[in-house]
Structure 1
Amino acid sequence: MSEPSVAPGPFDPPGVPWQPVSPRLTTARLVSAALTLVVPLAAGVVLAVLTEVTWLWALPAAVLAVGVWVVVVVPRQVRALGYAERDDDLLVRRGVLFRSIVVVPYGRMQFVDVQAGPLDRKLGIAKVQLHTASPTSDAVIPGLPPEEASRLRDRLAARGEAQLAGL
Structure 2
Amino acid sequence: NRMSNLIAAFVLALQSTPTTIPPPIACAGSNFSQFDFWIGEWDVYPNGTNTLIAHSKIEKLYGGCAIRENWMPLKGLGGGSLNSYDPETERWHQTWVGSAPGRVEFEGGYTGGNMVLTGMWANVNGPNQDALIRMIYSPQTDGSVRQHGEQSIDHGLTWTTSFDFIYRKRQTLSSKQAQ
Tell me the TM-score range normalised by the shorter chain: under 0.3
TM-score normalised per structure 2:
0.26
User: Which has more helix, going by share of residues?
Assistant: 1
**More relative contact order, 1 or 2 (CA 8 Å, 6+ apart):** 1
TM-score normalised per structure 1:
0.28
User: Which has more strand, going by share of residues?
Assistant: 2
